[in-house]
Amino acid sequence: MTLGPGDLADRLSEALQVYVAAMGYPPSTARQRRALWLDHVRRPGWRATGWLDDRGALIGIAYGYTGGPGQWWYEEVRRGLRGTAAEARGWLRDYFELTELHVRPDAQGSGLGEGLLRSLLDGVPEGRVLLSTPEYGPRSPGRAWRLYRRTGFEDVLRDHRFTGDSRPFAVLGASLPLAPPAPVSTTGPR
């Protein structure tokens, strides 16, 4: 379902619970992120989508907006790209920032994340999408990494440290529109 700013505000506690559970963060993190998420709805190009279970509970959330100079994330990534090839720095032109994409852990692994991703990015006018995700490494990717690789995301910046966070992050990017999903075989292996 498409979420407008008012919809997100109405479901913010629920959305933040999904975020905290999906990321494995302490519950207090939700209080810290509340104002930030509400501030993001005022960014140019902001859009959001959510997924509800059969009881109407939010089990997945994704949102983002048009990225650009002066925004914290843009400036952090620009700092990380200093000294890299012009091609890498070019990712910071005409992009949509996928800010959040989270699925409640008990609902993961069913394709819901890809559905949220594709729904959110459908019709985005920017030519690219960028995101950051914790760095798990190429030998032991988590579900998020598999989703991003499967949908065409490539490395833009690896092992980046955002100000205030000691964990390494990867910045990944894809051209828009995303390639269509791979067909699912109905015949099985031969």
Rounded Cα gap, residues 57 and 44, in angstroms: 28
H helix or E strand, kind and range, residue 115: helix 112-121
Q: Is position 148 annotated as part of the catalytic site? A: yes
Rounded Cα gap, residues 140 and 125, in angstroms: 33
Q: Which of 63, 65, 95, 148 is catalytic?
A: 148
**Beta strand pairing call for 58-66 and 95-103:** antiparallel
| 69, 75 Cβ separation under 8 angstroms | yes
Known catalytic residues are 148
